[in-house]
Structure 1
Amino acid sequence: MTQTNSRRRGPTRHGLSARTLRELERATGRLASASVAAMEERLPWFGRMPADQRASVLLITQAGAAGFVDWLRDSKEALTLTTEAFRGAPQELSRWISLRQTVSLVRLAIEVFEEHLPEFAADEAERAALVEGILRYGREVAFAAANSYAAAAETRGAWDARLEALVVDGIVRGDAEEAVLSRATALGWDPAAAATVLVGNPPSDDPPKVVFEVRSRAARVGRPVLLSVQGSRLVVVVAGPTDAEGGHQKVLNGMAVAFGEGAVVAGPTVPSLAEAHLSAAEALSGLRAVVGWPAAPRPVRATDLLPERALAGDAEAERLLVEEVARPLEEAGPALLETVQTYLDTGGVLETCARTLFVHPNTVRYRLRKAAELTGRQAADPRDALVLRIALIVGRLARARGLW
């Protein structure tokens, strides 16, 4: 009686009888279990997953099998619900397995279904319809999984961008180290890696374009970076050494290309991300003062802008000039300090300086070499001469104020 009624209803739009669909519906659990068993047998990584995760895969596979029957009935509402269900399922799976692994699971489940479906067909026509149906349905599931992973990736990307902006903002403002380090670690940054902060103008008003440009340059130099666009200012934190002596200057040169027109200032390289706020403070100070040196290289180190920073009122620059230049010269003795000051006052003319000091020119040469060893500044170089002159002035002012 049931068989007669089923045949009277006629086949569905997929050419399947109601009886075939009912039998297929009753077998969905068995087909799902067979699929999971095949996964455990053929995919080594699947067998290593925890039991609860494998159970979740079984539930999702059962839902997929039931959705396949609804899809075969050609109900538009069932098709919509099935598609939405599969779009949501990979969101849970994405925490455990990659998109490539998910595609492997879907492919294997489709293969198992394709092997078992012919036994439910009443004739050759239904067999062909079932095989065609599972292939089309598998394609829909694969597309739904890909869309789900893409949406999850976009969500993670947007969250990572916000988290990255918080890290860079924390570095610039000198926030508590623990908060910055924990967020940076969540982004995959090695907190123990050396860090250098670069600041300048963004190359575009479009933030995604800026991010793409910076990431591209970072990939070329092979360094991880953190970046944030803060209004009209672009801040980039570069991991690893950047000293010229170690041949790493090309890293800064490469990253400078990612900035827009104008000066690019690099703070000092600090041992770890915990000290990155010191690099940021000096880089920002240099960016404010670099206008005083029109011929500054690009990028320019903040330590090369000490005279301009000191004139702009940067107390840290004044301290560095005293500690690195003025104090070593004074502690070396009055003769050395007097020689440097006289050489600068005579316009860098060696013979005039020697006559003024009543010494031989070779004595002046010797003392200038000694001063260069102590300070790293060559008095004969115009730029270094400016640094020496400003450092001596700052040193005298600091001593007058009782700061030294």
Structure 2
Amino acid sequence: MHELLEGRLVRLARQLVSAFAEEIPLYRRLPREELDGDITRITEHNLRMICDMFRDRRAPTRAELAPLRSSAARRAQEGVPLDALLAAYHLGVTRVWEHLFAAAGPGDLDDVLAANRLILSYTGSVTSAVCAAYLEEREVMLSQEQHAMHATVTALLAGDRAALAGVRLAPRYLVVATALGAHADEGPDQPGGAIAGRRKLHRLRAAFQRHAAEQVVSVLDATGGLVLVPLTGQGPGWCEVADMVQAAGRAAGVPVWGAAEWAEPARVPAAAKLAEEVLEVVRSFGRPPGAYRLTDVLLEYQLTRPSEAMVGLAGLLDPLLGNPDLLRTLKAYLDTGLDRRRTAELLHVHPNTVDYRLRRAVSLTGLDPMEPAQLQRIGAALAARRKLAGDQPASR
């Protein structure tokens, strides 16, 4: 076997490289100098390794596989997909096999089987070495990319112009503060919970990336974080932003709340702060998943800004604390647009019970939701209570 290969090794290597370029689309696009250089050299090395394997009847050694690992790392750096790389190795093995045994007959069965075992050993060793080297290089590259991305986000959020020197920034960014629900497979008692969380984030980033021509940058964990979508030209309208957040939720497989603002690079810190504040208001008021902007929660946002009046506003409803049903009914009544029947359905009680509870709440607080001025005070009081409750330590 080794004599059959050694006699025409260089010629066979060139034929194999030509086959790669003809049958594997990615190799067809590689520069000619790379095909005639690196690819031809590593192909010749593989053929010599197969010759030695047949001569000595053994699997390839680690030293023999080292050039393959180096070649795989270079292909990873060049962005050659792993499947194209493996396709070349498998095509090469197939052509070598055809070359060696094209004239084999029934009397060669034992030799063919022995050679097949060696070829399978070669294929397994090569596949393992190439995949490991390729993926190790990609992990290093990904770590570097993530570090650079994190540094860019950190500098943008800090307004650090010195750190951004030399970094190509987009003309504008869509700054999205997100809150993410937990995936069904993400629970602490689930064996693959951490993996499910990382997969969720990967799908979320990919969904945002589909709306951007350049790299989306983010700072995210399993509960949410900031996503900065680079914009060119006019950028998306609000309906498109809403669709973007909805699509991200579908891709991630979890509820997604997103508060968004547009900003030039210099305004990213202020936009991020505002988006996070809007998101906090949205979550505090129990709004459903979706996209929000400041105009969607203007009143709630203003009412939840710290002031001396907040404690006083919240205290307007203190007389109801002894009867939680009254406070719950009043809140539901406002949330349903003063619809007593919908309130009754929401609370699973009779409409007459709603009427009784509302009359009781009016008698205790002196605030009647049927009076426009007092309705505003009730809404403000509920907003203040939500804000103060959200500010309390978790242990209380």
TM-score bin (small chain): 0.5 to 0.7
Q: How much has 1:165 moved relative to structure 2?
A: 2.1
Distance 1:260 1:50, change over 3 A: closer
Amino acid at match of 1:88: S
Q: How much has 1:45 moved relative to structure 2?
A: 5.3
Q: What's the counterpart of residue 13 of structure 2?
A: 32
TM-score (norm 2): 0.55
What's the secondary structure of 2:80's corresponding residue? coil
Q: How does 1:242-261 map to 2 (within 5 A)?
A: 243=238, 246=239, 248-252=241-245
Check whether the contact 1:194–1:271 (CA below 8 A) recurs between aligned residues. yes
Of 79-88 and 112-121, more deviation after overlay is shown by 112-121
Distance 1:385 1:250, change over 3 A: farther
Q: What's the counterpart of residue 141 of structure 2?
A: 156
Q: What's the counterpart of residue 63 of structure 2?
A: 81
Distance 1:281 1:175, change over 3 A: farther
* Cα separation, 1, equivalents of 2:307 and 2:180: 20
Q: What's the counterpart of residue 236 of structure 2?
A: 241
The reply on whether 1:226 has 2:205 as its aligned counterpart is no
Distance 1:302 1:38, change over 3 A: same
* Cα separation, 2, equivalents of 1:381 and 1:296: 23
Q: How does 1:298-317 map to 2 (within 5 A)?
A: 301-302=293-294, 304=297, 306-308=301-303, 311=306
Check whether the contact 1:193–1:273 (CA below 8 A) recurs between aligned residues. yes
What's the secondary structure of 1:197's corresponding residue? strand
What's the secondary structure of 1:175's corresponding residue? coil
1:212 corresponds to which of 170, 190, 199 = 199
* Cα separation, 1, equivalents of 2:221 and 2:26: 44
* Cα separation, 1, equivalents of 2:176 and 2:166: 16
What's the secondary structure of 1:179's corresponding residue? coil
CA RMSD across the alignment: 4.8
* Cα separation, 2, equivalents of 1:134 and 1:301: 62
Q: How does 1:45-194 map to 2 (within 5 A)?
A: 46-54=27-35, 55-72=37-54, 73-75=56-58, 78-94=60-76, 95=78, 97-118=80-101, 124=108, 125-176=110-161, 179=164, 182=167, 191-192=170-171, 194=173
Check whether the contact 1:32–1:65 (CA below 8 A) recurs between aligned residues. yes
* Cα separation, 1, equivalents of 2:84 and 2:138: 16
- Give aligned-pair identity as a percent: 18
What's the secondary structure of 2:160's corresponding residue? coil
Q: How much has 1:228 moved relative to structure 2?
A: 1.3
Amino acid at match of 2:242: Q
* Cα separation, 1, equivalents of 2:17 and 2:254: 54
Q: How much has 1:57 moved relative to structure 2?
A: 0.4
Amino acid at match of 2:174: A
* Cα separation, 1, equivalents of 2:148 and 2:29: 32
Check whether the contact 1:118–1:130 (CA below 8 A) recurs between aligned residues. no
Amino acid at match of 1:280: A
The total of aligned residue pairs comes to: 291
Q: How much has 1:195 moved relative to structure 2?
A: 0.6
What's the secondary structure of 1:266's corresponding residue? strand
Amino acid at match of 2:43: T
Structure 1 gaps of 5+ residues are 1-19, 185-190, 314-378, 388-404
Structure 2 gaps of 5+ residues are 309-371, 381-396
Amino acid at match of 2:133: S
Amino acid at match of 1:58: T
* Cα separation, 1, equivalents of 2:29 and 2:112: 36
Q: Larger Cα Rg: Structure 1 or Structure 2?
A: 1
TM-score (norm 1): 0.54
What's the secondary structure of 1:182's corresponding residue? coil
Distance 1:229 1:127, change over 3 A: closer
* Cα separation, 2, equivalents of 1:70 and 1:266: 63
What's the secondary structure of 2:48's corresponding residue? helix
* Cα separation, 1, equivalents of 2:84 and 2:207: 30
Distance 1:279 1:39, change over 3 A: same
Amino acid at match of 1:249: A
Structure scoring higher RCO (CA < 8 A, sep ≥ 6) equals 2
1:280 corresponds to which of 272, 275, 281 = 272
What's the secondary structure of 2:228's corresponding residue? strand
Could you give the per-residue CA deviations for residues 287-330 of structure 1, whole angstroms, max 9, x where no partner exists? Answer: 67889x656676653453652575469xxxxxxxxxxxxxxxxx
* Cα separation, 2, equivalents of 1:90 and 1:46: 14
* Cα separation, 2, equivalents of 1:159 and 1:179: 17
Check whether the contact 2:175–2:260 (CA below 8 A) recurs between aligned residues. yes
